[in-house]
């Protein structure tokens, strides 16, 4: 069997003044970038405790298929489970980096924890945008951010990926490509792996006896795309009304290019009690003759 090359992502500091540009350039070239020290150790610990709490309270089971993993628990719609998760979605440095890739007006697509336990096997390498019908390769329409809440190591299930595979035509790698080119995106707790959603990647095997790998995924899509999780239906309006304005906009209470997302020609934020004009693009369009 071919040996995987010893290639590791080049981490970028979250404090880098050129962060957004560097992330966008790296993602364009390699399909991914690792940003270090986005959250501190205390925040990671608090988030791990939150995941344990939600898993307990809702009786979150292990996955029931090979893709979701028989030793992995996933909590979907994290933003509805507690304020700490909501804070991550609007982390300014990550948002600026995502905007540098997707352009303005992008939306939140979904929030999911991936808690990989001992005994888990490798997940199928896949592209998160594999279901869309654009020919590959194509510019990013979706960005996945994977947050390490505990250290991600090759032994405990660090995300596996094939660098630059967002530029390939196929949706999944061949067995040979997977054996030859896959690397483990090892990263310290508090780091965020930012990926072009066409990049082939998947959760790693957890071969440890007792180490839990805690991570979560926050995905964003271009403002003209469909969100993967139905966030508008996922939380009652009266609760969303208490969220920070930026989060409301990311969920979909916003308009793209002053037209996509309107409700009877009104701005969707009016449904949350916000006094706001729709500023419709149609008001600015007129014939020149």
Ligand X SMILES: O=C(O)CCC(=O)C(=O)O
Residues interacting with ligand X, by CB under 6 A? 114, 123, 146, 159, 201-203, 215
Q: For residues 197 and 177, what is the distance between their CA atoms, to the nearest angstrom?
A: 18
For 38-103, strand residue ranges (E) read 72-76
CB of 202 to ligand X, least distance (A): 5
Residue 51 preceded by cis peptide, ω within 30: no
Residue labelled with tokens 């706001």: 276
Tell me whether residue 73 or residue 168 sits nearer to ligand X (CB atom): 73
Q: For residues 36 and 94, what is the distance between their CA atoms, to the nearest angstrom?
A: 11
- Which three-class secondary structure state does DSSP give residue 152? strand
What tokens appear for 87 in the block? 């804070």
Tell me whether residue 26 or residue 145 sits nearer to ligand X (CB atom): 145
Element (H, E) at 191: none
Tell me whether residue 69 or residue 252 sits nearer to ligand X (CB atom): 69
Instruction: Name beta bridge partners: 274.
Output: none
CB of 215 to ligand X, least distance (A): 5
Tell me whether residue 123 or residue 141 sits nearer to ligand X (CB atom): 123
Instruction: Name beta bridge partners: 147.
Output: 192, 216
Tell me whether residue 122 or residue 225 sits nearer to ligand X (CB atom): 122
What is the CA 230 to chain-centroid distance, rounded? 15
- Which of 97, 186, 104, 103 minimizes the C-alpha distance to 144? 97
Tell me whether residue 58 or residue 67 sits nearer to ligand X (CB atom): 67
Tell me whether residue 3 or residue 131 sits nearer to ligand X (CB atom): 131
- Answer yes or no: are the C-beta atoms of 8 and 176 closer than 8 Å: no
CB of 54 to ligand X, least distance (A): 17
- Answer yes or no: are the C-beta atoms of 186 and 154 closer than 8 Å: yes
What tokens appear for 233 in the block? 């239906």
CB of 125 to ligand X, least distance (A): 9
């Amino acid at each position: 069997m071919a040996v995987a090359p010893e290639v590791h992502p080049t981490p970028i500091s979250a404090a880098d003044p050129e962060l957004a540009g560097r992330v966008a350039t790296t993602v364009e070239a390699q399909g991914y970038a690792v940003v270090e020290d986005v959250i501190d150790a205390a925040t990671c610990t608090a988030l791990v405790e939150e995941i344990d709490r939600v898993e307990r309270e809702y009786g979150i089971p292990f996955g029931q298929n090979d893709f979701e993993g028989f030793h992995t628990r996933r909590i979907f719609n994290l933003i509805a489970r507690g304020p700490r998760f909501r804070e991550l979605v609007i982390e300014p440095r990550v948002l600026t980096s995502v905007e540098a890739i997707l352009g303005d007006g992008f939306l939140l697509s979904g929030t999911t924890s991936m808690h990989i336990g001992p005994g888990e096997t490798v997940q199928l390498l896949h592209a998160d945008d594999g279901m869309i019908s654009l020919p590959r390769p194509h510019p990013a329409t979706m960005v996945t951010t994977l947050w390490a809440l505990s250290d991600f190591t090759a032994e405990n299930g660090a995300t596996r990926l094939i660098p630059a595979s967002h530029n390939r035509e196929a949706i999944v790698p061949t067995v040979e490509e997977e054996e030859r080119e896959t690397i483990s995106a090892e990263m310290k707790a508090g780091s965020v792996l930012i990926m072009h959603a066409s990049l082939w990647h998947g959760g790693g095997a957890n071969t440890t006896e007792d180490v839990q790998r805690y991570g979560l995924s926050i995905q964003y899509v271009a403002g003209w795309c469909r969100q993967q999780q139905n966030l508008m239906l996922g939380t009652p309006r009266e609760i969303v009304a208490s969220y920070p304005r930026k989060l409301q906009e990311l969920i979909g209470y916003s308009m793209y290019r002053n037209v996509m997302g309107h409700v009877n020609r009104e701005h969707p934020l009016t449904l949350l009690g916000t006094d706001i004009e729709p500023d419709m693009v149609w008001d600015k369009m007129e014939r020149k003759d």
